[in-house]
Each structure stands twice: as structure tokens, then as C-alpha cells.
Amino acid sequence: QIKCKFHFFSPAFNYNLFPRNCKKILDKLEKKIVLLYYSYMQLEGEITHITYHNAANGFTIATLQHNKERTTIVGKFFSATCGQLVRVQGEFVANKSFGQQFEFSTIETLIPTSTNGIQKFLGSGLIKGVGMITAGHIVKRFGTKTLEVIEFQPLELAEIRGISIKKAHEIHQSFMQHR
């Protein structure tokens, strides 16, 4: 009877239970998995600058502000705008021409919670019919409840000067597309 605990990140792995050629293969496999585990990361922050964006295929090079650091992120992101809060998953790669970059494979747009973040989000151009000035008026009126109002009570937006009922519906629909 052979008992074997197989954990890649545990010293409990017993190589002596395998033939010599299998030990070499398992050793290489373990090192690759450890490297993969540590190279695949998640970053969360605000896009502060877009260096390049190809609208046809979504390829984007941008600067992400996270944990008081700026990191160049690279990947496919069709609706990239400055001021967006995002969560990216990927790995750091060394580009011969541009140095270390974070190449993301997945990206998720996050909804801001502070009044400043909400105003940047609304005024970023992502929500149709809302610029920075209109965003300022909306956030001044509704504060941190702004996004809830847009989602669940969009007609209340019409109470703000310059926003008609029709425009309130457009803002609601545009917000729901990017939620």
C-alpha cells in the first residue's frame, strides 16, 4: 500500500514514490506551476492615461494608478477611457523596447463609490449625454446615491436644470450598458 500526498506548494510531496524519470518530470512541472502562480496577478486601480488605443481590435496601452504606483497595462479593452476604475488580471512581461508592462488577459470595469470617483466616471465620456459639467451637477444633487438614482429612479435626473426626461432615459440606458 502506497500513501502519497501530492501538494505542489507543500513539503509533504514525496518524490521517492516515483521512478527516477518521473521525479525529473514532476520537479520541472512543480517549478513551472510555481512560476505560473506567482506571475499571474490581479491589479485594481484607475486608468490615468491612455497611450494608445486601436478601436478596430481593442488593443490598448494605458497607465494604471494602483497602490500609489503607476503601471503600464497592455491588452484588449474596447471601451477604455481615462478615469475608469478597473480590475485587470494577467502577468508582468518585459518588453524589449518599452520595459516592464502588465499584460492583462481579463479586465473588469468597477463602479466607483466616492463622489469624486462617480463624477469622473460619469464625465469620462462613457455615459452618453453626460460631460464633466453635467456630471458635477448630478453628483452635487445626489451625492454617493447618484448611481442608484441613475439605475433605479432615472426620472429624478430631470429635476436638474438642463436634463429633460428624454435625456434622463438616455443616461439611464447608457449607464445600464456599462454596468
In 3-state terms the chain splits into helix, strand, coil percentages (rounded to 5) of: 40, 30, 30
Q: Collapsing DSSP states into helix, strand and coil, what is residue 43?
A: strand
pLDDT at residue 59 tops 50: yes
Q: How far is CA 175 from the centre of its chain?
A: 17
Q: Check residue 133 and give its pLDDT.
A: 94
pLDDT at residue 34 tops 90: no
Residues 6+ apart with CB under 8 A from 80: 47, 50, 53, 60, 62
Q: Which residue has the cell 439605475?
A: 151
d(CA 90, CA 74) in angstroms, rounded, equals 10
Q: Check residue 129 and give its pLDDT.
A: 85
Q: Check residue 5 and give its pLDDT.
A: 37
Q: What is the pLDDT of residues 74-103, one digit of tens each?
A: 999 988 888 788 999 999 888 889 899 999
What does the mean pLDDT of the chain come to?
Answer: 82
Q: What is the pLDDT of residues 148-170, one digit of tens each?
A: 999 999 999 999 999 999 999 99
Burial of 108 (0-12, 13-18, 19+ CB in 10 A): exposed
Express as a percent the part of the chain with pLDDT over 70.
Answer: 78
Q: Which helix (H) or strand (E) holds 165?
A: helix 165-178
Residues 6+ apart with CB under 8 A from 21: none
Question: Cell digits for 107?
Answer: 479586465
Q: Which of these ranges, 14-18, 68-72, 106-110, 118-122, has the smallest mean pLDDT?
A: 14-18
Q: Check residue 149 and give its pLDDT.
A: 95
pLDDT at residue 36 tops 70: no
